[in-house]
């Protein structure tokens, strides 16, 4: 059961900030006595201007609360808040409590490695999880230094935000940190394997579970090299040195996000330590994540948003700088191509949902609402807008303003207005129009070619009008011509003249110079299969695919036409990102919505097998093609031969990832069973196998498998977050309608009760993962909309329902437009 708590309102945060100044935290944690709970003793020294307020605390049990010399009544604790009445002056508050370890990726998360039974702990304090680790005033603008004292099992390593040392067996003392927001405080503890290095006076570290120590050692040189390169570039660009002492990168199990930028000790999801062969694109993803978290040390850590409605000051900047620095100074110069495939549609789709919101000033009235806005708008759209701003201002003004911002508010908090004032002072001029149009107005403009009228039309969203100017490039070509011609075009009004000859294909904004919803017209769609075989610009091909994907999302292109593009593009494709991100979309969505889903899936499979045969053995392009071939395969005999090591393409080795990919596909087809899956897990018990076993078992097309998965959704069976996600994504499979039919009704009946068994990220994620997306019917759309209209439903669940109903309605639109069954 979760510990219900109230979400902090912005008005409450303002009042508490005006009342209190926090001087320091001293936190004593005992992790050694129990594997279910830990002792937490917090001493907070603060100044008050006198008045009533509250402390944030989510304990299993409170032993004593003492304010100065007075013991407070712990029974007044109500839904995570302990009332405090303060007099003017300095106070010392001591809270002695027992807290619960968690397994949902928040608070102090404790997991057991299935490979060897070892226990691992890490802290994730983000948003509202800190009070389940230590007592605090949990809001971003009450920063203070922290000192941690930790008792742990004797064979554990303890790492935190500040350098530390083991003063006696099992007892660790960490230095005092610079001022931090509560959500940055972390602790990584367990029998971790640690690798250390140093660069430019900064101690560097990496850590991961012992069972993947060899994999971390193999990746350490690449990780340290990227870290050094990024530090040098950030120091050059900002002229301000990293100020948080050590820089440790901890790869931890069952982490919800990609990573968390805790000063001094960044935490990453540990699948980013590669235990199987991965594509180049996956390596780029890791590199940009490393650079993203390093950018946060300036954007977010030195200067932190005052409230969550400025979260974009963290994420949009880190996204832009992470991609830019990765492309500029590491071996991954194609990072922007990766970004086009991996992030563009994430942001564009989020910006078209009914739940869209501005990049900045997103109206986050409370912390819970703000959590839902950590989405493709805050990351991908915000990054694109900042890239546009940089192109307009130039590096000199752009970075001069950023440096002024860091200097003025060092170790403090600031707002968007503060940052834009620094830019304007640096020479940007009046940015109010830019702010209003791009950052404070939601939704993308639709920018499309009207071939007959000879214009490019710009249409803002009906509910979010704005007057935005788009400076873009336009690529055009004719079959049999001299290739693509690229022109520059400024779309500054509802209609911009752009004449095009018949028989010429036009791709708008293929290089993503602006943030807009662009999609190809009918003639371009018809011509693309003839043009793509001679298109060798990787970034242009990525732009073509994003145009096509946007058109499909808006039911403007038939599934069969999308497959025509695939068959033409795949033979010349040399970016494994194109395969890695496009093929799952084709197999999971496009083929399923076609007139002939089975035949369309066969088309994808034939195209990937043909690509596979033409790839260099052992290349990452071959790996991406093989992954696609497995997931689109409906031939159980072929899958069996691959699983047994027969008929594998030269250069493909069946490692743990590929073995489970084959088993999952056999499960989808109903060509394996629970016993075989259990035996595969027992033969190779590790974290990845546990997750993929859950996905495979939930994918089986039988009543027992779906009931097994549903027990995890309702909380009848408690499982870690990664396994829960895998069960949801595995459960709803195309072609399993009969066995899934009862769970459409059960989803809407059981969803509200999940608030009693989980919270935070996992609550909303499970609502999305278990949504019946394969039930593409008007009745399911109406059921989702009706439940989302229940004002009593938990806010993050309502948000997911709104988004999933929109997705389902768009899938219905494709079927209606193009005759899908």
For residue 775, report the phi and psi dihedrals to the nearest 5 degrees.
-90, 75
Task: In whole angstroms, give the CA distance from residue 106 to residue 254.
Answer: 10
- Cβ atoms within 10 A of the Cβ of 512, count? 23
Strands 61-67 and 485-491: unpaired
**Tokens standing for residue 725:** 């996600």
Residues in the chain: 821
* Cβ–Cβ < 8 Å for 114, 122: no
Q: Using CA atoms, how far apart are residues 239 and 405, in angstroms rounded to an integer?
A: 12
Q: What span, in angstroms and rounded, lies between the C-alpha atoms of 754 and 776?
A: 24
Question: CA-to-CA distance for 88 and 20, rounded, in angstroms?
Answer: 10
**Three-state DSSP class for 620?**
helix
How far does Cα 799 stand from its chain's mean position?
Answer: 17
| Angle between helical axes of 559-569 and 795-818 (0-180°, round to 10) | 90
CA distance 372 to 276: 32
Least Cα distance to 124 among 27, 297, 262, 13 occurs for 262
The SS3 of residue 30 is strand
Distance CA 249, CA 194 (A): 10
On whether the CB atoms of residues 313 and 299 are closer than 8 A, the answer is yes
Cβ of 14: how many Cβ atoms within 10 Å? 14
DSSP, res 590: I
Name the catalytic one among 106, 233, 254, 293.
293
Write the CA distances from 339 to 46, 289, 451, integer angstroms.
Answer: 44, 11, 30
With tokens 């003639």, the residue in question is 523
Token pair of 488, please?
């520059």
Residue/partner pairs of 434-438 with CB below 8 Å, 24 or more apart: 434/389, 434/392, 435/360, 436/466, 437/466, 437/467, 437/468, 438/359, 438/385, 438/388, 438/389, 438/468, 438/515
Using H for helix, E for strand and C for coil, what is the string for 703-749? HHHHHHHHHHHHCCCCCCHHHHHHHHHHHCCCCCHHHHHHHHHHHHH
Active site residue 315: no
In our burial notation (b when 16+ CB lie closer than 10 A, e otherwise), range 423-443 reads beebebeebeebbebbbbbbb
Strands 485-491 and 455-459: unpaired
Where does 160-256 have alpha helices with state H? 213-238
Query: In this structure, what token pair is assigned to residue 782?
Result: 């109406």
Q: Taking each helix axis from N to C terminus, what angle separates 674-683 and 687-699, rounded to the nearest 10 degrees?
A: 170
d(CA 383, CA 390): 10
CA geometry: angle 386, 392, 398, nearest 5 deg: 60
DSSP 663-716: HHHHHHHT-S-HHHHHHHHHHS-SHHHHHHHHHHHHHSSSHHHHHHHHHHHHTS
Q: Which residue has the tokens 């000879």?
A: 454
* Non-local CB neighbours of 264 within 8 Å, separated by 6+ positions: 160, 161, 162, 163, 177, 244, 245, 246, 247, 248
Please give the sequence-ordered ranges of beta strands (E in DSSP) within 416-494, or none if there are none: 445-450, 455-459, 470-477, 485-491
- 341 backbone dihedrals φ, ψ, rounded to 5°: -75, -40
Q: Could you give the residue numbers annotated as active site?
A: 293
């Amino acid at each position: 059961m979760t510990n219900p708590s109230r979400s902090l309102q912005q008005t409450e945060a303002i009042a508490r900030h005006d009342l209190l100044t926090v001087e320091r935290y001293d936190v004593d944690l005992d992790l050694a006595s129990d594997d279910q709970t830990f002792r937490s003793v917090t001493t907070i020294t603060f100044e008050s201007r006198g008045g009533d307020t509250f402390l944030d605390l989510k304990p299993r049990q409170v032993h004593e609360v003492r304010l100065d010399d007075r013991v407070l009544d712990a029974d007044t604790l109500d839904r995570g808040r302990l009332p405090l009445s303060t007099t003017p002056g300095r106070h010392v508050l001591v809270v002695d409590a027992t807290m619960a370890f968690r397994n949902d990726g928040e608070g102090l998360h404790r997991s057991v490695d299935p490979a060897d039974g070892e226990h691992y702990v890490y802290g994730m304090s983000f948003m509202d999880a800190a009070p389940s680790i230590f007592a605090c005033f949990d809001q971003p603008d009450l920063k203070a230094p922290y000192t941690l004292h930790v008792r742990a099992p004797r064979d554990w390593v303890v790492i935190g935000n500040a350098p530390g040392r083991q003063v006696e067996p099992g007892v660790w003392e960490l230095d005092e940190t610079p001022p931090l927001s509560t959500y940055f405080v972390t602790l990584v503890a367990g029998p971790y394997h640690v690798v250390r290095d140093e660069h430019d006076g900064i101690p560097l570290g990496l850590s991961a579970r012992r069972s993947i120590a060899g994999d971390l050692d193999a990746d350490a040189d690449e990780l340290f090299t990227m870290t050094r390169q990024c530090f040098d570039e950030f120091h050059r660009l900002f002229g301000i040195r990293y100020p948080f002492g050590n820089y440790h990168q901890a790869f931890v199990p069952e982490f919800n996000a990609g990573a968390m930028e805790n000063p001094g000790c960044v935490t990453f999801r540990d699948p980013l330590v590669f235990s199987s062969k991965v594509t180049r694109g996956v390596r780029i993803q890791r590199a940009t994540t490393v650079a993203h978290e390093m950018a946060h040390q300036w954007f977010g850590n030195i200067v932190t948003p005052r409230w969550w409605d400025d979260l974009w000051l963290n994420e949009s900047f880190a996204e832009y700088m992470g991609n830019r620095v990765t492309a500029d100074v590491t071996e991954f110069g194609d990072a922007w191509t990766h970004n086009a495939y991996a992030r563009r549609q994430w942001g564009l789709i989020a910006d078209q949902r009914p739940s869209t919101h501005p990049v900045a000033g997103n109206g986050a009235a409370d912390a819970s609402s703000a959590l839902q806005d950590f989405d493709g708008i805050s990351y991908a759209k915000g990054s694109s807008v900042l890239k546009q701003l940089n192109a307009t201002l130039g590096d000199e003004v752009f970075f001069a303003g950023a440096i002024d911002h860091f200097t003025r508010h060092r170790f403090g908090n600031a707002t968007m207005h503060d940052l834009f004032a620094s830019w304007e002072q640096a020479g940007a001029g009046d940015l109010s129009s830019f702010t209003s149009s791009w950052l404070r107005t939601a939704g993308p403009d639709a920018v499309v070619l009207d071939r007959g009228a000879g214009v490019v039309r710009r249409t803002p969203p009906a509910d979010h009008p704005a007057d935005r100017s788009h400076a873009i490039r336009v690529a055009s070509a004719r079959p049999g011509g001299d290739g693509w011609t690229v022109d520059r075009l400024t779309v500054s009004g509802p209609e911009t003249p752009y004449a095009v000859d018949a028989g010429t294909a036009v791709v708008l904004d293929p290089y993503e110079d602006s943030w807009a919803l662009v999609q190809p017209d009918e003639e371009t769609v018809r011509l693309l299969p003839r043009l793509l075989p001679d298109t060798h610009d990787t970034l242009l091909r990525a732009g073509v695919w994003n145009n096509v994907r946007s058109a499909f999302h808006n039911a403007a292109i038939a599934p069969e036409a999308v497959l025509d593009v695939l068959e033409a593009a795949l033979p010349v494709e040399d970016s494994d990102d194109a395969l890695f991100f496009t093929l799952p979309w084709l197999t999971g969505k496009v083929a399923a919505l076609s007139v002939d889903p089975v035949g369309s899936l066969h088309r994808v499979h034939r195209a990937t097998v043909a690509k596979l045969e033409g790839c260099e053995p052992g290349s990452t392009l071959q790996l991406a093609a093989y992954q696609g071939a497995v997931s689109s395969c409906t031939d159980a005999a072929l899958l069996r031969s691959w699983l047994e090591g027969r008929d594998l393409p030269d250069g493909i080795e069946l490692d743990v990832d590929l073995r489970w990919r084959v088993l999952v596909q056999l499960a989808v087809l109903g060509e394996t069973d629970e016993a075989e899956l259990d035996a595969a897990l027992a033969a190779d018990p590790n974290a990845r196998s546990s997750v993929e076993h859950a996905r495979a078992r939930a994918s089986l097309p039988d009543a027992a498998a779906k009931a097994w998965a549903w027990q995890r959704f309702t909380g009848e069976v408690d499982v870690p977050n990664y396994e829960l996600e895998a069960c949801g994504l595995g459960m709803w499979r195309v072609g399993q309608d009969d066995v899934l039919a009862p769970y459409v009704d059960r989803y809407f009946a059981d969803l509200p009760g999940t608030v009693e068994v989980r919270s935070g990220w996992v609550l909303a994620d499970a609502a999305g993962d278990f949504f019946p997306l394969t039930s593409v019917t008007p009745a399911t759309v109406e059921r989702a909309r009706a439940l989302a209209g229940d004002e009593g439903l938990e806010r993050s669940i309502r948000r997911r329902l709104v988004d999933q109903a929109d997705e389902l309605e768009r899938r219905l639109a494709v079927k209606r437009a193009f005759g899908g069954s």
